[in-house]
Amino acid sequence: PEFLQSDSPAPVISSRSPASPAHPYHPHEKNNFLEAVRLTGSVGSGGWKGDATWTGKHGSTLSLGSTISQRGIEEVGATAGYKSHDWHRVPDIEVGASMKPGKPGVTYSAKISKVLDGSLEPTVSAQLTNSGWSLGTSFSKELKDGVDMEMDLKMPISGSRKVDLVVDGKTTYKVKGGKLVGTVGGKASSGLRGVSYGMSYDLGL
């Protein structure tokens, strides 16, 4: 019958997909605290040194470490670092403190650093410690695939205003799940007899 017919158009069914979640899931994000922690350490003639370091998504860090020799625990310490990931003119900041069980006093340090523009993108820094302060610069360069070299030059100035030059070199070999690092360094005032070397590791769980 005509009185049952309607002049209104048929309803349109929306084909839009469901709204995306406000916070999309990223499969590569670290979902818990332990996934953001790495264990590092080194073994040499002086004993074993190990650290557990948590790293935030923007590069800020919190680290706890200790040094153990044949005589037992030699030192324990903690370090906190802030990375200025989205502030071009703000430097990175790092503070730390350590102590030796059975001995009085605390060793402290505070450091600010900034990466400069250039072909090697050198990092310049200023550091304050119990023994004085220092100025420094460092840079890194890839020698070949999986092998990197770093150089670190520092000019420490003690409380007596005595100036020295410290040179440290580091070569990194990348392996599956981590890296191996060889180091060599020394002071200008000590000559060849003051050269030190070592090997360290950085492996994920």
Q: Is 194 helix (H, G, I), strand (E, B) or coil?
A: helix
The per-residue pLDDT for range 46-100, each reduced to its tens digit, is 899 999 999 988 889 999 999 999 889 999 999 999 988 777 778 999 999 999 9
* CA-based nearest residue to 200, from 182, 176, 186: 182
107/119 Cα distance (integer angstroms): 36
| Residue for token pair 């190990």 | 50
Which of 41, 18, 27 lies closest to 180 in space, CA to CA? 41
Q: Are 134 and 155 in contact (CB under 8 A)?
A: yes
Instruction: Report the alpha-carbon distance of residue 179 to residue 2 in Å, rounded.
Output: 83
Rounded Cα gap, residues 193 and 180, in angstroms: 25
pTM across the whole model: 0.55
Kindly give, in sequence order, each residue whose CB lies less than 8 Å from that of residue 36, ignoring residues fewer than 6 positions away: 30, 54, 55, 56
Per this entry, what is the length of the chain? 205
**Tell me: the pLDDT tens digits for 100-147?**
998 999 999 999 999 888 778 888 999 999 888 899 999 988 888 888
Residue 190 scores a pLDDT above 70? yes
4-24 mean pLDDT: 46
- How do the domains of the chain map onto residue ranges? 33-115, 129-204
